[in-house]
Amino acid sequence: MRVLSSELSPSARIDAIKSLREDHFDILVIGGGVNGAGIALDAASRGLKVALVEMADFASGTSSRSSKLIHGGLRYLEQYDFKLVREALQERELMVTTLCPHLVKPVSFLYPLQEKFKERTYVGAGMALYDALRGFKRALPWHKHISQRELSEVAPSLRLDLITGGYQYFDAQVDDARHTMMIARTAAKYGAVITTRTACKDLIKNGRRVEGAVIEDLESGEIIEVKAKSTIMAAGVWTDPLYESFGVKPGYRVRMSKGAHIVVPGEAIKSNTGVIIKTDLSVLFIIPWGNKWIVGTTDTDYEEDRSSPLATREDVNYILAQANRVLEPKLERSQVIGVFAGLRPLVSSDPDSPTTELSREHVVDHPVPGFVTIAGGKYTTYRVMSEDAVDVAITDLMRIVPESCTETLAIVGADGYSVLLNKADELAKDYGISKEIVMHLLNRHGALFAEVLEPALKNNALLKPLIPGLSYLKAEALYAVTHEGARSVDDVLSRRTRINFEAKDQGLGVAKEVAEIIGEVLGWSETQANDSVKDYEEQVRAQNDALAQTLSKSAK
């Protein structure tokens, strides 16, 4: 009998590949983004036999390149999309309180006002509706009005010659890549077979009915026929090309919308709160992220390479221009220390409509027996989307299946998290680390805290940070491969940690050390370790070249 565990170790992957080869599944999930991981968890928690295959790493696409917000979507109120806002707000409350309070944290935002009466009444009514739509569960405070005098204390960087006051309200934020991976681990805990570096090459068909998929293990080159009664594709922006390659007619089309962001140092903006700015096209967020700020996002049509969306000069110019409408001193191009861009898979029936006007509602398609796809939606509503996809897929199983139970199903690390928070001082003393590091670990791993630090009890060097000035420990790099499914230096530096995103050198200085830490667990030869480092170095070089070109003086 297979022992169930959330551990995504190298040996667990060997077992998972064996299971793909030998077992028959109720549900096969294609895609390891937040929707694919959510679908695997929903189906597994209903008692179904589930497998998930992902061609790269968890959240390696859109799900690691979001604005890091769990929110209702204040701007969707103007589009009268009350259902979506209510749904998203209810999911936000669930995540903050029940599902993953160790990963999803409240964050305040200020909506600045430039006109004293009409705008204040209009925006105030919107804020009241935003609060009301979240229902009776109220983990986050109500909005409140901020006077111009208070504004100078709350957000000194806002232009007082232009802004007359504002409204402060709360949403939440998350490390999206970590959250997605933890959902996948939770699915494994409840029996799902989870693999990365496994690409779907084709569907297995019997007449019109789909009976699984042909999978390639990209590490060994083995081709595996995975048998399943229903296959659910949650491939995001890869949906259309996969439909075409499978020879299946889609019930919808996916429009790619690019969302670009810039990263600036904490000292670039003086504010105790995030800021949301209404633009002519959409909204712009100034989001606190540790000791840095994320500023974005854009919302533009994208028809280029799906695998490597990049922020352009126009994207950066737009973001800076919109932010500088309300900031003093203004952000300079030279202050930008990083850029990143993700692609939204939006469902569209009108190829001429602007992406800003496209609904963020999701669509589930069931084009042929045994094959279901899902696209659209928001990161915040992944759980609802997953439930809807599984509800459609189980019609292929021809038997009674329990209803979804994920509304009350905590993500691994949530149970016991609040107790450990109360013991933070004691934990710091026990492990000989600072309380700051304890809080860092609790807010990334939750109740798995002791599991992360267990190897450090024998090797004290693992308690040291990977990079001075950042809180990521060497023990976390090791844990990334022993428990979190990391298979490369890039996995560790780009998604299990956000060193690629947060370090001045994007982690180049520690890439070799990370390869040494993880290589022993992965059974790497010296050549394999060097190749993983080189792959990461080439990726960072490409990012830096793009950033340099984007921020060059000629872009002014």
pLDDT digits (tens, 9 = 90+) for 88-107: 999 999 999 999 999 999 99
Does residue 358 surpass a pLDDT of 50? no
Closest to 295 (Cα-Cα) out of 272, 270, 316: 316
pLDDT of residue 554: 47
198-206 and 253-265 strand pairing:
unpaired
**Average pLDDT score over residue span 517-535:** 98
Q: Stretch 291-297: mean pLDDT, rounded?
A: 93
Cα–Cα distances (Å) from 451 to 103, 273, 455, 478, 534, in that order, read 17, 34, 8, 11, 30
Confidence of residue 154 (pLDDT cuts 50, 70, 90): very high
pTM over 0.85: yes
pLDDT at residue number 2: 63
Answer yes or no: are the C-beta atoms of 198 and 21 closer than 8 Å: no
Residue 394's pLDDT is what?
Answer: 98
Are 183 and 411 in contact by the 8 Å Cβ rule? The answer is yes
Among the residues of 454-525, which ranges form H helices?
Answer: 474-482, 489-490, 499-502, 511-522
Q: Report the chain's mean pLDDT, rounded to a whole number.
A: 92
Instruction: State the alpha helices, DSSP H only, in 247-301.
Output: none
- Can you list the domains of the chain with their CATH numbers? 10-62+178-252+359-408 (3.50.50.60), 92-172+255-357 (3.30.9.10), 417-550 (1.10.8.870)
User: Is a pLDDT exceeding 70 seen at residue 360?
Assistant: no
- For position 61, what pLDDT does the model report? 93
Residue 443 confidence (pLDDT) above 90: yes
Measured in whole angstroms, the distance separating CA 194 from the mean position of its chain's CA atoms is: 18
Lowest mean pLDDT among 114-123, 187-196, 399-408: 114-123
pLDDT confidence of residue 78: 76
Whether residue 404 is predicted with pLDDT greater than 90 in this model: the reply is yes
pLDDT in tens, 204-244: 999 999 999 999 999 999 999 999 999 999 999 999 999 99
Report pLDDT digits (tens) over 453-499.
999 999 999 999 999 989 999 999 999 999 999 999 999 999 999 99
Beta strands of 245-304 (E only): which ranges? 253-265, 274-278, 283-289, 292-296, 300-301
Q: Which of 57-66, 224-233, 351-360, 364-373 has the lowest mean pLDDT?
A: 351-360
- Residue 357's pLDDT band, with cuts at 50, 70 and 90, is very low
pLDDT digit string (tens) for 503-521? 889 999 999 999 999 999 9
